[in-house]
Amino acid sequence: MKPQFRIGHGYDSHEFKPGIPLIIGGVQLAHDRGLGGHSDGDVLLHAITDALLGAIAGPDIGSLFPPSDPQWKGADSSVFLREALKRVEAAGYSLVNLDSTLILAAPKIGPHAAAIRERVANLCQIPADCVGLKAKTPEGTYTENAAIAHVTVLLQKTSTA
C-alpha cells in the first residue's frame, strides 16, 4: 500500500557568470550576472524538480536531462519542472506545498519574492500561499559567487496508481 504522504528534498547551486540573464523561480531579475548552467541555470526550479522526483523515488534531474545532451543547452527550466509534475501525477500523487530557501549574496530577493512565489505557484498549479520562499545571505560559507537553493515538497496520494 502506498503511503498517504511523501516528502522530497531538492538542492541545486550554480555559479554567477557575466553576460547571461539571471532567472530564479522562472522570473528574470535585473542583475549584472546570471547563473551558469547547461540550461537557463534556474537554481530554484532545478531544486523543486529534484525535490518532486525524490519524493516519488524517481531519477534526478541530471539523469532525465543530462547536461551532456545539447538539446537542453539554454533550456527553460520550467520544461524540467513540468516533467517532474507529470511523473508525480503518474505515481498517484499531487503537490500539496513546497518550502524553499535561496542562499545568495545578491541581488536581494525581497523585492522579487511575491513575483517568484506567484510564478512558482502557477507552474506547480498550487496556490501561492502554498509556496514558501526565504532568502539568506551566504555569510561565512565562501559561496558569494554562487546561488544555492534548498527545497522541500509535500505530496499527497491522489489515487491507487
pLDDT grade for 83, boundaries at 50, 70 and 90: very high
Q: How far apart are CA 128 and CA 120, in angstroms?
A: 8
Amino acid 67: pLDDT: 83
Domain 5-157 has CATH 3.30.1330.50: yes
pLDDT grade for 95, boundaries at 50, 70 and 90: very high
Sketch the domain layout of the chain as residue ranges: 5-157
Q: How far apart are CA 140 and CA 158, in angstroms?
A: 43
Whether 160 has a pLDDT exceeding 90, the answer reads no
119 burial class (0-12, 13-18, 19+ CB within 10 angstroms)?
buried
Whether 159 has a pLDDT exceeding 70, the answer reads no
Q: What is the mean pLDDT of residues 90-97?
A: 97
Amino acid 73: pLDDT: 84
pLDDT digits (tens, 9 = 90+) for 131-143: 999 999 999 999 9
